[in-house]
């Protein structure tokens, strides 16, 4: 297939591109190399994608004309949309970046899919859409009408916008709610990288909610496996969908939502302990209150995912942290 992959220089994007190239696909990567975090890290990821079937374009999705040209030239069989302005806390400081990247950029992408229809659009949503829902595990059938961060609101908006294009234009679209993805080449603003960097430098790490935090840490290889399997399964209209008792995870349109999570919440303090053991150094803990827009616990119900593709993420946290530290120690030593 020809796969147009946005966010190709990103954490999940790079890993997905590698997997698609390995199986024989042609990948057209798009990324604006935003300075939200280290551009060097993004360029180092791209350096791993040097391949005769990989083409890269430095393009901002808010540039509708440039994006249209890429679609017109590529005419992709599938679109994997992973580009976004990420991060709950940063949305408190720079809301406009989220509107431009996650709303304007996604609207432009949908218009391109309308003009040059792919067989399947797979796009990244987020577990953040569940807001402060106290009912765990979080299921795609739960209501997500009460986001508690602008980042979450933009991801919910993306799901709704994709649904409109599925209904009006028959665009087969699948949204993926990722749960705390970690692993080699991870984002520097995520806790494993933040903690590892602070431990190595002897700096204090902030542990929010005074340590009472659990996250459904999901190893990146598991995420890639789920994504690649789902690309090959464009959704069909749900014949059982009932407007009087609607299922928020499916539709009368060819549109679907899946959780991508490990279904095993882990104490953040346990992750700190595993990092200490792997790095051979003790962390300096600085306990802090809960941050605005954050939640104390996340956990994914992945029954629908497993039923659809015969796979569910399951890498144990100790194994995933070990692989992450092996990469981090080598990468930090080269910088």
330: tokens are: 């080598």
Give the alpha-carbon dihedral of 157, 59, 184, 215, to 10 degrees. -10
Segment 132-172, tens digit of pLDDT:
899 999 999 999 999 999 999 999 999 999 999 999 999 99
Segment 256-296, tens digit of pLDDT:
999 999 999 999 999 999 999 999 999 999 999 988 888 99
What's the average model confidence in pLDDT over 283-312? 94
Task: Mention every residue, 6+ apart, whose C-beta is less than 8 A from residue 212.
Answer: 296
The percent of residues above 90 in pLDDT, for the chain, comes to 92
What is the pLDDT of the chain when averaged over all its residues?
96
Residues designated as active site: 151
- pLDDT value of position 175: 98
pLDDT > 60? residue 335:
no
Relative to beta strand 266-267, strand 214-215 is antiparallel
Please state, in angstroms and rounded to a whole number, the distance separating the CA atoms of residues 138 and 304.
12
- pLDDT value of position 92: 82
pLDDT > 80? residue 333:
no
Q: Where are the beta strands (DSSP E) in 127-280?
A: 173-178, 181-182, 204-207, 214-215, 218-219, 255-260, 266-267
Q: Which domains does the chain have, with CATH numbers?
A: 2-179+220-261+302-309 (3.40.50.720), 191-212+266-299+315-334 (3.90.25.10)
């Amino acid at each position: 297939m020809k796969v147009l992959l946005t966010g190709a220089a990103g954490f999940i994007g790079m890993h997905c591109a590698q997997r698609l190239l390995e199986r024989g696909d042609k990948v057209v990567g798009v990324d604006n190399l935003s300075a939200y975090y280290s551009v060097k890290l993004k360029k180092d990821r791209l350096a791993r994608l040097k391949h005769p079937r990989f083409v890269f374009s430095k393009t901002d999705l808010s540039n509708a004309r440039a994006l249209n040209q890429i679609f017109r030239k590529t005419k992709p069989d599938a679109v994997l949309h992973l580009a976004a302005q990420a991060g709950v806390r940063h949305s408190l400081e720079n809301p406009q970046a989220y509107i431009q990247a996650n709303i304007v950029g996604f609207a432009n992408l949908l218009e391109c899919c309308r003009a040059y229809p792919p067989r399947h659009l797979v796009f990244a949503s987020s577990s953040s859409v569940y807001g402060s829902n106290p009912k765990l595990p979080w299921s795609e059938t739960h209501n997500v009408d009460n986001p508690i961060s602008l980042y979450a609101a933009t991801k919910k908006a993306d799901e709704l916008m994709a649904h409109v294009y599925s209904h009006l234009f028959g665009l087969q679209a699948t949204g993926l709610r990722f749960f705390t993805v970690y692993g080699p080449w991870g984002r520097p603003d995520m806790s494993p990288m933040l903690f590892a960097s602070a431990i190595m430098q002897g700096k204090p790490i902030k542990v929010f909610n005074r340590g009472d935090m659990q996250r459904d840490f999901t190893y990146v290889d598991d995420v890639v496996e789920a994504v690649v399997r789902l690309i090959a399964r464009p959704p069909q209209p749900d014949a059982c969908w009932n407007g009087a008792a609607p299922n928020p995870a499916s539709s009368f349109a060819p549109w679907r939502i899946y959780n991508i999570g490990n279904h095993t919440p882990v104490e953040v303090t346990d992750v700190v302990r595993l990092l200490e053991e792997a790095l051979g150094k003790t962390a300096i803990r600085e306990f802090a209150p809960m941050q605005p827009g954050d939640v104390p616990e996340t956990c994914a119900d992945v029954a629908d995912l497993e039923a659809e593709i015969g796979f569910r993420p399951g890498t144990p946290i100790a194994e995933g942290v070990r692989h992450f530290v092996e990469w981090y120690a080598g990468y930090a030593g080269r910088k």
